Structure 1
Amino acid sequence: MNAKSATAATTKPNAEYAIYKPNGRGNGGVIRFEFNRTKGAVFVDAATQSGEKQFDWESKITMKWGLNDLGSVLATIQGRQEQAKLFHQSEKANSAFELNFRDDPQKAPYFMSMSRQDGASKSVKKVMIPVTHAEAAILETALRAAITRLLGW
């Protein structure tokens, strides 16, 4: 890496990691984690599959995570608890995130879901994806780095 690209990598205000899970049935999804240095939080976006390897980012679900949210998800990935359940309530909508560990060798070891219920219409959007050990390991590393940055250590 040359000096110019090293500087660009370190000064980028937001860094993200996305887990894409399109499928042949067209009901896959993507969940993206973005560290926002300016707002001091991790933003989590989820979108449903809208075509072959395409996702409906226009109708995405978004949650803003603080330290407690990050800790709960990290504890699940580290095997300290079987699931993380996050619930955020506002006047506009209620959002929920779940990460579950599954002890079934026939399935991915983790299952992640994110949903949002609109306050006015009560309509619900939901995105669900399986997560591999490798994806969980990358997410763990990213969340640990986000916590370090949020604490300013």
Structure 2
Amino acid sequence: MLVNNEAMTQHIALLQQIRSTFNPSDMINIYTDGSLTNHFNNSSNTFTKYMGTGWVILNSKDEVILECSSSITNWPSSIHVELGAILSATLVLQTGQKVNILTDSQVAIDISCIINLIDSKRLEIKLVKVKSHSGVKGNEEADRVVKNDTKKVTCIKIKDS
């Protein structure tokens, strides 16, 4: 399940607040962030990862007028919590809403560039998860190609901002 019932109830309430506060033609700025922290458990002598997402909407005086925080389980990655924060914010938006999502995650911005390219080319893409190193022929071949240093040609340059 992508979102549990408690989170869904919270997001529906936030959607209703956004509908009562903003017109779809209003530009909204939403600041998002994700957090991945390790906490040491003395009794079990192990580390536990805690993952959280958050977002806020500010008014013209930079005062928080709407906020949401939630946790993510079984998804231990800083990239996933950043994307989870954007997903959480997106869930509460009305159809047709104008939004700037402001994030400190370059990966999220890079992903949005890929999505924009897919949209502009009107591609119908389905991403399918395959198990790594499990004998899937195409995946094994892609793995071989990426590891073959002697034949690498730079075909994509990514500018680090």
TM bucket normalised to smaller: 0.3 to 0.5
Question: What is the TM-score of this pair, normalised by structure 1?
Answer: 0.34
Indicate the structure whose relative CO is greater, using CA pairs within 8 Å and at least 6 residues apart: 2
Higher strand share: 1
**Comparing both structures, which one devotes a greater share of its residues to helix?**
2
